[in-house]
């Protein structure tokens, strides 16, 4: 690792920083492109790249040797900086949020009634809108729907919070925490397994294989716009199922 160590604090020279930035630039650009589907109209991929660079420089300032690897910490900060930038722009109009909630409610109601996940036509019919309008809403909803698969908090307004303290020590987890985490994963895995095959494949390619929406379109032989629609619909389905699950638990 470049840079000298003073206590736990790593101190990087300007030459070290330039080399690290060059090394991380491909990761920053790729991550910005992965998040590009969440961009509001007034932002560009270049804005996310700039934010990622700021996150990297912040990581070099705060990095403490011996706690975690530099690459792990820097990637965490880069993603966190980009997500903070996206969150800081509250661009989703109230009307769009209302439409998203209506679609989620329709999905939940139809699933309870039919005993299966509803088709696009059935959801559009319940909402009394055309199928074309339904798809346009899903397309416009990109960035407004998130289940935080890779999202995370990195301090926010709590500037005194050391982000390293938020990275869990896997060897220090309690049995209860491990059990709860395993249970949550099982529930989410069960919900995802019930999704249509295209949506399951899309989520796998995006969240596990870390492909961009454009790359997923090439794999699935779909337009990038259609991929975004399917992604929004998959998250809406999962949110609806989670809402149904919570309501069942509350009545038990």
Burial (CB count <10 Å: 0-12, 13-18, 19+), residue 41: exposed
What is residue 179's predicted lDDT score, i.e. its pLDDT?
57
11-20 contacts, C-beta under 8 A, 24 or more apart: 12/60, 17/57, 17/60, 20/56, 20/60, 20/70, 20/74
What is residue 10's predicted lDDT score, i.e. its pLDDT?
66
What is residue 9's predicted lDDT score, i.e. its pLDDT?
62
Chain-centroid distance of CA 93 in Å reads: 20
Contact 63, 2 (CB under 8 A): no
What is residue 55's predicted lDDT score, i.e. its pLDDT?
92
What is residue 32's predicted lDDT score, i.e. its pLDDT?
92
What is residue 27's predicted lDDT score, i.e. its pLDDT?
95
Q: What is the fold of 94-143+171-251?
A: Butyryl-CoA Dehydrogenase, subunit A; domain 3 (1.20.140)
What is residue 92's predicted lDDT score, i.e. its pLDDT?
64
Q: How many CB atoms lie within 10 A of CB 194?
A: 15
Sketch the domain layout of the chain as residue ranges. 4-90, 94-143+171-251
The dihedral over CA atoms of 54, 83, 178, 160, expressed in degrees to the nearest 10, equals 50
pTM, to two decimals = 0.57
What is residue 144's predicted lDDT score, i.e. its pLDDT?
59
What is residue 140's predicted lDDT score, i.e. its pLDDT?
73
Mapped onto helix, strand or coil, the DSSP state of residue 121 is: helix
Q: Which residues of the chain have pLDDT under 70?
A: 1-10, 66, 90-92, 142-185, 246-252
Of 128, 121, 9, which Cα lies nearest the Cα of 62? 9
Asked, colleague to colleague, whether 4-90 and 94-143+171-251 share their fold, the answer is no
What is residue 168's predicted lDDT score, i.e. its pLDDT?
46
What is residue 139's predicted lDDT score, i.e. its pLDDT?
77
Q: What is the fold of 4-90?
A: Rna Polymerase Sigma Factor; Chain: A (1.10.1740)
């Amino acid at each position: 690792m470049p840079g000298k160590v003073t206590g736990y604090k790593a101190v990087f020279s300007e030459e070290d920083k330039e080399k690290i930035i060059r090394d991380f630039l491909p990761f920053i650009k790729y991550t910005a492109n992965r998040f590009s589907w969440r961009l509001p109209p007034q932002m560009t991929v270049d804005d996310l790249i700039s934010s990622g660079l700021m996150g990297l420089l912040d990581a070099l300032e705060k990095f403490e040797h011996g706690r975690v690897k530099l690459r792990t910490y820097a990637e965490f900060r880069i993603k966190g900086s980009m997500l903070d930038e996206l969150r800081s722009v509250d661009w989703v109009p109230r009307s769009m949020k209302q439409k998203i909630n209506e679609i989620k409610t329709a999905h939940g109601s139809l699933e309870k009634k039919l005993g299966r996940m509803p088709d696009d036509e059935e959801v559009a019919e319940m909402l009394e809108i055309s199928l074309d309008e339904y798809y346009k809403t899903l397309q416009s909803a990109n960035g407004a729907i998130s289940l935080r698969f890779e999202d995370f908090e990195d301090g926010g307004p709590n500037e005194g919070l050391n982000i390293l303290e938020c990275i869990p020590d896997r060897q220090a987890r309690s049995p209860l925490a491990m059990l709860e985490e395993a249970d949550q994963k099982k529930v989410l895995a069960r919900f995802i397994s019930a999704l249509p095959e295209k949506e399951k494949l899309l989520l796998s390619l995006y969240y596990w294989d870390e492909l961009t929406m454009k790359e997923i379109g090439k794999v699935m032989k779909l337009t990038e716009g259609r991929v975004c629609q399917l992604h929004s619909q998959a998250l809406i389905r999962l949110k609806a199922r989670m809402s149904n699950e919570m309501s069942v638990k509350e009545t038990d």
